[in-house]
Chains A and B, each alone.
Chain A
Amino acid sequence: MAATLALIRRELSTYFSSFTGYITISLVLFLVGLSFTDLLLRLNQGEPTDVPVTEMFYQSWYFWLILLLASPVVTMRTFAAEKALGTFETLVTAPISDLQLVLAKFFSSLVFHLVLWLPLILCVGVVRHFANDRSSFDVGMVASTYLGVLLLGCLYMSIGCFASSLTRSQIVASMISFALGMAMFLLGFKTAYAPQKTDRMDGFFSHISMVEHMQDFVRGVVDSRQVFFYLSVTVFFLFLTHKVVESRRWR
């Protein structure tokens, strides 16, 4: 356990002691800022609305742009950089298990992912301050939105860790995780464009549609099926990552 914590600490320190970490943070901040101005413009368009602020933010689609672009950047380093630098060898010859290593890499990127989304709270706070309406900042709503961010983060970080474990090139790793992440995202649209939802296939695609899941989360609806979906897919990708890291010792 102490070793895992040491690993997580070291992983997080590389985010915050290098330029890449701060560049990622500032670019995400820029995109969140853009979506915030967009949100303010829509709030000022005359008609009063009863749509929650978090949902209005989500409707601007910046959410997916940030998630799809940032997660490969956050995770591409995890294994690929170690392999390129050669430190992978010193790392796995230390008395730590491969599972510990995978989990440490996953959790540290997840923590960084959550840090990236912190400014969103501030945005909602600003709206609440100027709207003079307590209901515009509903704690439950913000909490469920962040639960969505956390669950999607789990999924995308595990995809990223898996992609990074496959290669020693960070660029290749980020491309693989971007492609996988994009594919997962686009699968959800198969239902949106289907003429009728009677087909069993459409039911399936609707079930895994992350756009619809997130739509629920920003409205404050938490469905245990969705929580289970994200956790199980995350575990699946972490399992694959573990197998890839372990494959070195196969004979």
Chain B
Amino acid sequence: MIEVSNLTKRYAGHTAIENLSFGVKRGEIVGFLGPNGAGKSTTMRILACYQPATSGTAKVAGFDVFTQSWEVRKRIGYMPEHNPLYIDMRVREYLKFRARLKGLSWRRSRHRVDVVLEQCGLTGVSKKIIGHLSMGYRQRVGLADALVHEPELIILDEPTLGLDPNQIRQVRQLIKSLGGAHTVLISTHILPEVEMTCNQVLIIHEGRILASDAPTNLQNRLTRQGLITAEIAAPLPELKRRLEALDDVEQVAIAPSDQNYFHCTLTSRSQTDLRLAIYSLVQQEGWQLRELSRSRPTLEDVFVHITRPEKLEEGY
């Protein structure tokens, strides 16, 4: 759906993005993740045909964003950062105007406006003036605008900016429901958002793509550093000896817990899951086990790991 190759955008004096290449398949929900100023908005603006790239090409649905921008613009629904709207218009009037602008016929625009009002939960406020709406509702108006002409690709720049947790959940739900029928590209610097909604993550930092994978795969990259936690009631020396004797165990730390339980933390040398081995050990010895878990690294850990500047890394 999207093919970007060697995309570079330079402003006077600094490079916003450099040699960006990535691809997005049809029907995917892709999260564009990066700290502020990483080049997310610039990339999205180029894809939405708002500004040209300095060099490189980007194609949406097979059409070049620079030379065939008309075809591209017909196929995308774009919501810019900060969601600009005409605050003097009424919700329904605005969506109707946008639908007509995007080339929908009079009858079709009426139908589509009804559909997106329903879809975005705006039916109750359709006659209100946009300037009088709360942030959450305005964001939904922006979303409704992006959806109104049933675009193949939906580009949302920070769709949950400035919303409260409840509203964020609703917007997320909405975005999730768009997957499959539409391709969605959202940018954000909120990690749980990507973890929950996207099936593909692009991590961008200082104008370069640092990682591109499914969220779970990205987490697996760090799983080696994942910890196994177990609480076992057993004689201490025996426990220590037997745990250290397990295959692939790198480190074992044992601390007394309450009653006669011991809190054990283990790290493994390879990708193997130690939990099974621990369980069968406990069963074999007739010990008691009350907790056994593996802490998986969150996407946040991955993100910090990948985007941390070198200088800081030394400092820690």
Contacts and interface: CB of A to CB of B under 8 A. Distances in A.
B251 interface: no
Nearest to A89: B80
B82 interface: yes
Contacts of A86: 80, 82, 84
B72 to A, nearest CB: 9
B223 to A, nearest CB: 41
A94 B70 CA distance: 9
Contacts of A94: 73, 98, 101-102
A6 B104 CA distance: 11
A85 B84 contact: yes
From B82, B87, B103, name the one whose CB has the most chain A CB atoms within 10 angstroms. Answer: B103
A26 interface: no
A90 B100 contact: no
B31 interface: no
Interface string B247-260: 00000000000000
Interface stretch (A27-35, A64-72, A225-233, A243-251): A243-251
B64 interface: no
A92 B78 CA distance: 11
A3 B50 contact: no
Interface string A62-90: 00000000000000000000000111011
Given A85-B84, A86-B84, A93 B50 contact: yes
Contacts of A122: none
B42 to A, nearest CB: 13
B84 A90 contact: yes
Interface string B83-95: 0111111000000
B88 A90 contact: no
A89 to B, nearest CB: 5
Interface stretch (B21-29, B51-59, B284-292): B51-59
Nearest to A91: B101
Contacts of A5: 100
A250 B88 CA distance: 32
A13 B73 CA distance: 26
Contacts of A17: 88
Report, as a range, how many residues of chain A touch the other chain: 20 to 34
Chain B, interface SS category: loop
Contacts of A6: 97, 100-101
Contacts of B73: 93-95
A139 interface: no
A60 B168 CA distance: 62
B77 to A, nearest CB: 9
A89 B100 contact: no
A249 B51 contact: yes
B80 A3 contact: no
A251 B103 CA distance: 28
Nearest to B72: A95
A10 interface: yes
A121 interface: no
Contacts of A154: none
B75 to A, nearest CB: 9
Contact of B50 (A2, A18, A92, A95): A92
Given A93-B50, A95-B102, 20 more contacts: A2-B100, A2-B106, A6-B100, A10-B89, A14-B88, A17-B88, A85-B87, A86-B80, A86-B84, A89-B45, A92-B50, A93-B48, A93-B49, A94-B101, A95-B103, A249-B52, A249-B66, A250-B52, A251-B54, A251-B66
State the 8 A-B residue pairs at the shortest beta-carbon distance, nearest first: A86-B84, A6-B100, A251-B52, A95-B73, A95-B74, A87-B84, A89-B80, A93-B48
28 contacts: A2-B100, A3-B100, A3-B101, A3-B102, A5-B100, A6-B101, A10-B86, A10-B97, A13-B89, A18-B88, A89-B50, A89-B80, A89-B84, A90-B98, A91-B101, A93-B76, A94-B98, A95-B70, A95-B73, A95-B74, A95-B102, A248-B50, A248-B51, A249-B49, A249-B66, A249-B69, A250-B52, A251-B66
Interface of B: 45, 48-54, 66, 69-70, 73-74, 76, 78-80, 82, 84-89, 97-98, 100-103, 105-106, 145
Interface of A: 2-3, 5-7, 9-10, 13-14, 17-18, 85-87, 89-97, 248-251
